[in-house]
A and B are shown apart, each in its own frame.
Chain A
């Protein structure tokens, strides 16, 4: 097994699946040259410009034409250059892709993948850093995944491409080059809808996705030295949520901290908290806590505001320690 980055894992999933299935193709702005974030680098040389298709700069058309192609039998991967720019395509995603199977009573389907590089990676300011997942969360018919590491990045993307329904694939830009891990060269999938316990613990449970998982694991390592044992659940799929795994992880310790970079109000964490409260309220030993981005639009360009907005290992460790000591 080779050690590759999160970004290489994403590229390798696309490359492998394009090799395997001639109906798979990539479309988006600047994808031909490799994309502004390099996710599609080298793919045009391998598969030609019709399968690594540079589109006009128009997000609704990128998603809308992908939907049309999918209804014809293709398996399009639409790249939104930055998740911040997904909103012009929101009508196509929510009114169209998500409802095509349902509104046609299972006559038509829409197997598209929309890759959305999200989250702050430093210096991206308000419009190159957002986490838009809560806008789409709760839309029946959509699936949403957010891998936290290279292995899941490849396995979830392969699962997303093969999925018969539309999948929003949120790839955290800060993970691109900062995370490397052993990733199998061959074919495997990480099943959509399955969370994973990343660390077993007994004092408190952290439920997170994306880069917050990484911070939680680092914080758990620190807290272990203080004698605090943290249980960490990586949601991996944020819609549909793995309710069974959430309840099991919450029940394990009776203390739940939910962490994500997206804004606190109306975020995925609110739903996770509601699920735990509905099923396990009387088994809890402390109020459910959330550690999320504040309810401000996104990170500022200047370092103090960026630092204030974002999660990090220290913030996780503080919140985890406080909850463990409740």
Chain B
């Protein structure tokens, strides 16, 4: 790169420090994911559902949003996203160990069911896409109140077939609401491939709702950042929602309970693993002259330590009591 030439992140208005933070969030999520798989395989935790291969899109989107104002409705693979908007490693670990102190659910929900009111991460469930109308309702309320913010919601391409996706998009389009809908199209809904889920593009559906739909390379965090940032600016100008389809690939099986070689080949997985956005982004930072192998090693060491500490803490933390089952069905009088 020639001296004096603006590099892509600077053109997008991202400082060197911010892109390094973005990369750190992606790496943190990847390492959390790898540790969670080990914990599950060694019998320490019951279940893990992976976000490997989707960190670039998640972090790219998160850094384009306002972590102090916006409302977030992530889906179950969004570890890099929640880590980027305020959730800590310790909190994620408390969640996978299902401990009382887990801020997501107090150990009530499966891992990946995020919620953290302090950070405006809205509680989610397992029936997919129910969060889309919630995001629309939050945007409606913010608009009624005259508050300058957006709601941001994610889901998979399989989930995009649910009626709640359609009902939510249509409502948001009619009322021109400040909501950003991002489909993380990872090509598989458990075992069913993209071509058996949808006959066209997810992004193209936006036309029918009267707002823009954008397809973006989900392995490129800066491209995702760019489109989410534009969508946010549109929303704040009162121009309504944007649908974003981030193209990526689910590298691991659906969850720790799935054998993906029953429905896809190792060759296909390896071909897509080679497109992984994480090492490419590291190389980009190195090429920009703001990162190095040494710094990367230091970061990895620091992350390993953070994960070790979080794991030890969560492992030792107490479970809720059995009787806690009866708490919070309704507001306490």
Contact = CB atoms under 8 A, between A and B. Distances in A.
Partners in one complex: yes
Interface of A: 25, 50-51, 55-56, 58, 60-61, 63-74, 76, 88, 91-92, 95-96, 99-109, 140-141, 143, 164-165
Contact of B328 (A25, A91, A95, A106): A106
A50 B330 CA distance: 30
Given A68-B135, A104-B105, A61 B125 contact: no
Contacts of B141: 68-69, 72-74
Contact of A103 (B109, B134, B170): B109
* Chain B interface size range: 35 or more
A95 B105 CA distance: 15
Contacts of A68: 122, 133-141, 151
Contact of A56 (B134, B139, B140, B171): B171
Contact of B137 (A51, A64, A108, A165): A64
B138 A58 contact: no
Contacts of A25: 144
Given A58-B171, A140-B329, A104 B133 contact: no
Nearest to A50: B144
A58 B170 CA distance: 9
B174 interface: yes
Given A58-B171, A60-B163, A65-B136, A104 B125 contact: no
Interface of B: 71, 102-109, 113, 115-117, 122-123, 125, 127, 130, 132-142, 144-145, 151, 163-164, 167-168, 170-171, 174, 327-331
A95 B127 contact: yes
Contact of A72 (B108, B142, B171): B142
15 contacts: A55-B171, A58-B163, A58-B167, A58-B171, A64-B136, A65-B137, A68-B140, A71-B134, A96-B125, A102-B108, A103-B113, A103-B115, A105-B106, A107-B115, A164-B331
A168 to B, nearest CB: 14
A72 B71 contact: yes
B134 A96 contact: yes
- Residue of B123, B135, B170 with most chain A CB atoms under a 10 A cut-off: B123
Contact of A104 (B117, B142, B167): B117
Contacts of B329: 101-102, 140-141
